[in-house]
Amino acid sequence: MKIVITISGNTIDSPFDPRFGRAAAFCLMDTETGAWTVHENPALSASGGAGVQAAQFIAKLGAQAVVSGAYGPNAADTLSPAGIEMYLAPAGETLTAAEVLELFRAGKLSKTEAATHAGHHGDGH
């Protein structure tokens, strides 16, 4: 299974980034083989709609699930129809992507069906 973990670095040992749309990068992993690649988040500097853009991007990567710390309404509304499952990892602890992957494999991460917070749109406009 291919999953994406939001990270703030460029390797599997980089820290987990609890933001979804504004995550620095996405670590794409194969849960069976452990193979991984890192992809910069094209939505990082978007003026708006970062969640939508990031969700489309990981859909194109072929991810079937994503692990992040939170999902906005637009991100959730794009990920759900794409059939990408949304998992939550604790934002408070300092975890690496590799450690998050272990938690995922062990079935210790909770799943969410909907957005975990309200949208950011309108902030600062």
Partner 1 sequence: MRIVVASGKGGTGKTTVAASLALAAAEWEAVRVLDCDVEAPNAALFLHPDLNQRKEVGILLPVVDETLCTHCGRCAEVCEYHAIAVIGKKTLVFPELCHGCGSCTLNCPEKAISERLDVMGVLESGPTPGGIDFARGMMNVGEPMAVPIIRELKKWNDMSLRARSAKQSPPIVEEIASGENAPRNDNETGRLLRWEERPPRNDIIEIRDAPPGASCPVVETLRGADFALLVTEPTPFGLHDLKQVTEIARELGIPAGVVVNRDGIGDNAVEAWCAEVGLPILMRIPMERRFAEAIASGKTLVEAAPEYRGKFFALLENIRARVAV
Give the C-alpha distances (Å, rounded to integers) separating 95 from 57, 105, 109.
Answer: 24, 15, 13
Residue position matching structure tokens 């853009």: 53
Q: Which of 34, 83 has the CB closer to partner 1?
A: 83
Q: Which residues bind partner 1 (CB under 8 A)?
A: 43, 46-50, 52-53, 55-56, 59, 74, 77-78, 81-83, 119, 121-122, 124-125
- Residue (106 or 118) nearer to partner 1, CB: 118
Cβ-based nearer residue to partner 1, 3 or 76: 76
Q: How far is the CB of 94 from partner 1 (least distance, A)?
A: 31
Least distance to partner 1, CB of residue 51, Å: 8
| CA–CA gap between residue 102 and residue 108 (Å, rounded) | 9
Using alpha carbons only, how large is the chain's radius of gyration in Å?
A: 13
Query: For residues 54 and 42, what is the distance between their CA atoms, to the nearest angstrom?
Result: 7
